[in-house]
Structure 1
Amino acid sequence: MTLKTIQPEGWAPARGYANGMLTQGRALHIGGQIGWNKDQVFETSDFVGQMEQTLANIAAIVEEAGGTVADIARLTWFITDKQEYLARQKDVGEAYRRVFGRHFPAMSVVVVAGLIEDEALIEIEATAQIG
């Protein structure tokens, strides 16, 4: 099987991992994305702001592979604060729709004690089927 690394143009290089791997069968596996920008800088410490940036990062990787958010089949969310996630459902939904519209793939949400990047409040993995 041939794999192609997907790295959006202009993004800081990933160190020790790939942002995305595209298979010959056009399945795109997206490594955990967090709420920093293309330069690996957090622009906000707000949960919903980081969530929206995380989803935008996923969308950029899918688009770099030749797809659209409609090609995303699965999302796995890792969050550090269950109470904030539950309390801000309206804001979460609005931010989600700004990036993904009304496309709702299979999703799981897992509460974790922490993430590798101390500033990160959320990490999301994705799988897409391009084309």
Structure 2
Amino acid sequence: MARREGNPTPMERVNPHELAPPSGFSHAVSVERGRLVFLAGQTALDAGGRIVGDTVVEQFERALTNLVTALKASGGEAAHLVSLTVYIVNMEDYRSHAREIGAVWRRVVGRDYPAMAGIGVARLWDVEALVEVQGIAVVPG
């Protein structure tokens, strides 16, 4: 099993040759042991409860940072993410900024990717929100 640097939980990213090579996600992530942390969907809310950021990239960065903040408060770190779902209001806009979103991911989380899904939605709870991220982590111990 592959181990992430600084992560004592044995974790393996499974990307079978029979499937298309993943770009920005892993087909599956296998974990031997640890404590599950289910992370609620996070949008680009600031501490005052207001959506911040005008672009999907700005909002993705804030939402992902909020998710990692909740994970850290639970005793975990970004490297412990094993699954992430991204809810996207405007899929074309999101896809057209994929490189920038990838750079945000690397800056906030690192170079490894959990099992991921991107789902297009008509709108999110906060009408100003362009993106929401929800995750599952496995924290050692």
TM-score range, shorter chain: 0.7 to 0.9
Partner of 2:114: 105
Corresponding residue of 1:120: 129
Report the counterpart of residue 37 of structure 2 in structure 1: 28
1:51 aligns with 2:51: no
> What's the CA shift for 1:89?
1.1
- AA aligned opposite 1:52: E
Q: Is the 8 A contact 1:75 1:105 kept in 2?
A: yes
Q: Which has the larger radius of gyration?
A: 2
Residue of structure 1 equivalent to 2:138: 129
Partner of 1:39: 48
* Structure 1 stretches lacking a partner, 5+ long: 1-24
Structure 2 Cα separation of the partners of residues 28 and 37 of structure 1: 22
Work out the CA distance in 2 between the residues paired with 1:66 and 1:38.
20
Alignment partner of 2:92 out of 83, 89, 93: 83
TM-score with structure 2 setting the length: 0.72
CA contact (8 A) 2:43 2:51 kept: no
Task: Give me the CA root mean square deviation.
Answer: 1.1
Q: Check whether the contact 1:69–1:103 (CA below 8 A) recurs between aligned residues.
A: no
Whether contact under 8 Å (2:43, 2:129) holds in the other structure is yes
Structure 1's consecutive aligned runs of 4 or more residues displaced over 2 angstroms after TM superposition are none
**What's the offset of the Cα at 1:35?**
1.0
- Count of equivalent residues: 107
Output one character per residue of 1:43-65: Cα deviation in whole Å (capped at 9) or x when no partner: 21211000000110111011111
Give the Cα–Cα distance (whole angstroms) in 2 for the partners of residues 44 and 78 of structure 1: 16
- Aligned to 1:84, what secondary structure does the other structure show? helix
Q: Which residue of 2 aligns with 1:15?
A: none
Shift of 1:39: 2.3
Kindly indicate whether the alpha-carbon contact (under 8 Å) linking 2:84 and 2:133 is maintained by their aligned counterparts in 1.
yes
The runs of 5 or more residues in structure 2 that have no matched partner are: 1-33
Does structure 1 conserve the Cα–Cα contact (< 8 Å) formed by 2:79 and 2:110?
A: no
Deviations 1:71-92 (A, max 9, x none): 1110001000011111111111
